[in-house]
Structure 1
């Protein structure tokens, strides 16, 4: 890959790969009766992703896959097949408590108003993450969500975000992470956080973003403040028949690539990082093969136009979090 878009520069000069492999497995958006994570699927998928050429892995404390990821990476580091400096490891903390019908443990999720100390809970969770990975540091640490899913106290939620961010800054200054950022933050969440803690701005904001779920106002805000926007669920997790959209299919035919490659190329040409996930080795390699073709301005505009309606989401709407 020789395209200049294969990495983006964060505010502090750290380079973040444009394409990372998502390490959440299972069903957590209600597509079946079971709602929860299946970390055992990571054993095959992460190995296959590394074989396909991925060096950036996107995880989270709540996913339950960090011990598996750490074991797989440890084997490759031990053999000399990989060096730590070649990897870019992202994790996330502070996932709010999930609804009772979803199989997510309170050991991995919590609401800020239900713990004795936000700061200590964060540090304890981060220590567990590093222990599971068997790493001394991560490359990017994100606040998983801006607050609780059912919270109504906006003042407390804002205070909690500031306290979490100050703890992240402390970990960053200690070298426990090379960069810090947020996930699922709206423009309003970002604005208030930067007002409350002005020392270091978020370097990344990871949000659901795909052709049917676009927020150009948020992207413009992030660009203005030098915050890299990272897109999760770039294929809408297979929902809404998006991969069969005639506009996307036609563009893919024009370039003799897959619809998935068109979507991912749209993301990187628009200045976003992207987090595709697949269990198919062929698709994994395709999802990295984005740098030998380009979309025209007209094609970019056609895909942009697919998001002109109300966003179609596979995850909760962050704007509902106070």
Structure 2
């Protein structure tokens, strides 16, 4: 657990890059609502990202698959052009190598792919990186992540060695991009301990160890063993879906409501404070300006050890996920 009395606004990655602990998520669409699961709706990013910039966000979590890099790049570019913002003042994360999406999702086949269907994996990574930087209008990103460790559709007993070799090939391509200055830091997303162990074995150079592992974590979905492994390896854990994307009525949980009442805060603020005190970074996403302000106002109170334990206990059972389970990926 990070010292709650120290400033929790940034964390230093193992290569010395300083990363904000809160970044604005840019995966827009209907994930867990009452309507049919649809997927990405990038048009929602225009207003939300503009509001986020207006309300002080300077870190943005993007991905090639989200279809929102052009919106983020255009909105940043307007502020660069006016002189209101400089490139150095923002921290931009993007992700490549998203596996082929299920056919019922409205995600372009040009943005997602399975490694066993690609003739030249490293070239595909390089090509996608060019497209992402072009859409963002940037010469580099601050953090580049492998979006998923492998295919969603690999049959049970799919070839683990093929998947392992593909991960190493993708990672070597990421290392080369970092060496060229296209990314200041590189990491992974949705990797389990086994995925990480294999990658560290296959690409053992300390400088190329992943700096970040971005995974689904919220009070109903925890993986203490994975977090402990990452800490031991110097890998920062980032929580996506930090509020469970609005699912499971998480923010109405009586434990969170009671803790929030004691501090005069909202349950959402309590959850974000829990993430930061637990040593994670987090990616809150909202389209409402008042919630954007609220999500950043978490540095004027501290959760005590008993409150941290009470929140931890909410996820003691089977993890409730809003995204695919990475443990099903070979």
Shorter-chain TM band: over 0.9
1-side partners of 2:324 and 2:106: how far apart? 16
Q: Tell me which residue corresponds to 2:138.
A: 135
Are 1:263 and 2:283 an aligned pair?
no
Measure, in 1, the Cα distance between the counterparts of 2:287 and 2:39.
Answer: 18
* CA deviation profile, 1:243-265 (whole Å, cap 9, x unmatched): 11000000000000110000000
1:87 aligns with 2:87: no
Picking from 105, 111, 114, the partner of 1:111 is 114
- TM-score normalized by the length of structure 2: 0.96
State which of 173, 189, 194 in structure 1 corresponds to 2:195: 189
Counterparts of 1:274 and 1:303, CA distance in 2: 16
Match of 2:221 among 189, 197, 213: 213
Q: Pick from 175, 179, 197 the counterpart of residue 185 of structure 2.
A: 179
- For the residue of structure 1 that corresponds to 2:167, the secondary structure is helix
Cα deviation, 1:189-239, whole Å, max 9, x if unaligned, reads 001110011111100000000000000000100000000000000110111
SS at match of 1:4: coil
Question: Tell me, what secondary structure is at the counterpart of 2:144?
Answer: strand
Provide the C-alpha distance between the structure 2 equivalents of 1:178 and 1:264, rounded to a whole number of angstroms.
26
- What corresponds to 1:16 in structure 2? 19
RMSD across aligned C-alpha pairs, in angstroms?
Answer: 1.1
Q: Residue in 1 aligned with 2:52?
A: 49
Q: Hey, what does 1:120 align to over in structure 2?
A: 123
Instruction: List gaps (5 residues or longer) in structure 2.
Output: none
Deviation at 1:165, TM superposition (A): 0.3
1:38 paired residue among 38, 41, 66:
41
Question: Which residue of structure 2 lines up, in the alignment, with residue 301 of structure 1?
Answer: 309
- 1:159 matches 2:162: no
Alpha-carbon contact 2:32-2:247 (below 8 Å) kept:
no
Give the Å deviation of 1:52. 1.0
Question: CA–CA distance in 1 between the matches of 2:283 and 2:249?
Answer: 19
Aligned counterpart for 1:226 among listed residues 234, 238, 253 = 234
Q: In 2, Cα distance between the equivalents of 1:3 and 1:17?
A: 14
Residues 260-314 of structure 1: per-residue CA shift (max 9 Å, x gap): 0000000000100000000110000110111111100110011011111000000
What secondary structure, in the 3-state scheme, does the structure 1 residue paired with 2:210 have?
A: coil
Query: Aligned pair count?
Result: 321
Q: How far, CA to CA, are the matches of 1:291 and 1:55 in structure 2?
A: 17
Matched, 1:254 2:259: no
- Whether the 8 Å contact between 2:27 and 2:42 is mirrored in structure 1 is yes
Give TM-score scaled by structure 1 length: 0.98
Aligned residues of 1:96 and 1:109 also touching (Cα < 8 A): yes
Aligned residue for 1:237? 245
